[in-house]
């Protein structure tokens, strides 16, 4: 968070990145943009969970014991907003070759040590929301997350419950993002935070290959 956030001014900016990559073409920027994409195809949203400074600051502000109980249907209703924003940004930049809303990412004014009254108010609103809800921008408006989410659904490795799972539901209650359901993970929205695995008394949750033929087979008993 310190390096990508305060030193580099909030890199990769989730609203600007999905636009800039279309304008800058084959460049070092494309390489940096592609690394989280490749990580998503391999193991899921590793960038969102462990690298993104915007997500990290939201998570740092969150106080679990103060968290609001927001029904799943509300999150499901808000979820399409980020896909709509992604589509709008991509179509617009292809038509106009200009970038917009690059300063409307939470904490961008903080990382850049500046901003307008509108962007500062936007940051303040999401800072307050982050205290009571887990990563509200990531779950409702982040266009880069909207790009990585469907890629994570087809990742080579995914978080799954092994044979030791008893469907006790402890992982569901432990998951701050609300993507676990008794050993079943909504891979596209999982941030790989590890809270579910830490809470599982049977240690049944682990990253497993998507295809069974890639999984290690148990050793055969020695022949007599």
Task: Please say if the pLDDT value at position 194 is more than 80.
Answer: yes
Task: Please say if the pLDDT value at position 144 is more than 90.
Answer: yes
User: DSSP of the chain, one letter per residue?
Assistant: -IIIIIITTSSS-HHHHHHHHHHH-SSHHHHHHHHHHHHHHHTSSHHHHHT-HHHHHHHHH--GGG-----HHHHHHHTHHHHHHHHHHHHHHHHH-----TT-STTHHHHHT---HHHHHHHHHHHHHHHHSSSHHHHHT-HHHHHHHHHHTT-SEEEEE-TT----SHHHHH-TTS-EETTEE-GGG-----HHHHH-TT--EEEEESSGGGSPPPPPPPP-
Boundaries of every domain in the chain: 2-152, 160-211
Query: What pTM did the predictor assign?
Result: 0.88
* CATH classification code of 160-211: 3.30.70.20
What would the pLDDT profile of 203-220 be if each residue is shown by its tens digit?
A: 888 888 887 656 655 544
**Residue-level pLDDT at 224:** 45
Task: Please say if the pLDDT value at position 112 is more than 60.
Answer: yes
């Amino acid at each position: 968070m310190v390096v990508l956030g305060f030193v580099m001014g909030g890199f990769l900016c989730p609203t600007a990145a999905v636009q800039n990559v279309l304008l800058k073409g084959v460049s070092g920027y494309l390489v940096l943009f592609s690394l989280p994409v490749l990580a998503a195809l391999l193991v899921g949203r590793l960038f969102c969970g462990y690298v993104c400074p915007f997500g990290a600051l939201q998570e740092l502000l969150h106080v679990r014991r103060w968290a609001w109980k927001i029904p799943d249907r509300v999150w499901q209703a808000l979820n399409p907003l980020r896909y709509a924003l992604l589509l709008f940004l991509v179509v617009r930049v292809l038509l106009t070759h200009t970038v917009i809303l690059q300063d409307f990412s939470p904490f961008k004014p903080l990382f850049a040590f500046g901003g307008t009254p509108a962007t500062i108010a936007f940051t303040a609103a999401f800072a307050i929301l982050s205290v009571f809800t887990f990563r509200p921008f990531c779950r409702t408006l982040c266009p880069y997350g909207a790009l990585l989410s469907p890629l994570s659904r087809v990742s080579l490795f995914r978080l799954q419950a092994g044979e030791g799972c008893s469907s006790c539901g402890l992982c569901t209650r432990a998951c701050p993002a609300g993507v676990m359901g008794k050993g079943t993970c909504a891979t596209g929205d999982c941030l790989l935070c590890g809270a579910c695995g830490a809470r599982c008394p049977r240690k049944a949750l682990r990253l497993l290959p998507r295809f069974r033929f890639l999984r290690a087979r148990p050793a055969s008993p020695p022949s007599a």
